[in-house]
Chain A
Amino acid sequence: MDDAVVVAALVLVAAAATAAVLQRDPARQAIVLSLLGLSLAALFTVLQAPDVGLAQLAVGSAVTPLMILLTVRKVRQRKGRPK
């Protein structure tokens, strides 16, 4: 019955990845990617790989969204779009 948690985590990762791909706006995509990172961390942990889960968590919760959003901001500035 341990498999139930693994199956739940796998389905969540698949759904999150699909949702991330279907987002068109990069700023909104950053939010879904953050959730994908959290789901992956959960998946790695239930597959008994906590070191990998911790690495995914560390990178995906703050650093990656920050880089994506700063890049989006810079690109919008160059295009002259009002923020």
Chain B
Amino acid sequence: MDLTVKINDRTFKNPVWVASGTFGYGEEFKDFIDLEKVGAIITKTITLNAREGNPPPRIVETPSGMLNSIGLENKGIEHFAKKYYPFLEKLDTRIIVSVAGRDKDEFEKCIEALEEFSPDAIEINLSCPNVVHRQTKHKLIAQDPETTGEIIAAVRKKTKSILIAKLTPNVTDISEIALAAEAGGANALSVVNTYLGMAVDAEEMKPILGNIVGGLSGPAIKPMALKVVYDVSKKVKIPVIGIGGIMTGRDVAEFMLCGAAAVQVGTANLADPAAHNRILSEFEEYLDRKGIKKATDLVGKLKKL
């Protein structure tokens, strides 16, 4: 069975990756799964300088999902390079570093700082719902096609690494943003980041999250995420990486049938630190059962009703 996926010149051993922010810096999960079976590890988003994150509570469970408002807490790029990258670098799998910035300038500086250790790919997080972005009248960069295109084009000039733009579904027409990212030079798109939401405690008459609002993830968003993948993959020529509530091998297949070249397992990692390896083997069983020899043969192969 051939599970490999190609994005530009890079081959990934399988299409089941892990999503940024749900897998720490990989090391946290080494006791529970074989990290080298992960198609690509996407790190928790790092920023140029340390960020404190949002006030607690930062997470709350909702029906078949969860809301988070972590707020990109991280210790900055230098700390990442010293403390976390050496472990990741030794793993025999692809490492994708997720970065975020408040504006173009900060994104550029981040990419420059990453150049010394040339990761396999960089995911540009334009869509964290829990932080304030500058340079756009919108709350999130990826709500603004112009700024999205501008930032991708700017970082494109700074690196030869594969660039993946991570987009938000909290827009009227995501295709417009997807096309802007593609035009800016992105090599792939990750869709979707979380859906904005909130949770309320009626007894206390208060919001539950410290940040009041947060991002919804988990199986609750899967139907919406599938639709985004289905729509966007028909509009752009670059590969689309599907994210949104993947809990089983069959979910992986659903996203690939809708047009995803690969997927990222997110919230499932938080429910079960051993989730990834289970989902991958379920996906292999699915392919086997369907008599599919190449995983990529599934991509966009949704049959007509």
Our verdict on whether A and B bind, yes or no, reads no
A residues with a Cβ closer than 8 A to B are none
Residues in B lying within 8 Å of A, measured CB to CB? none
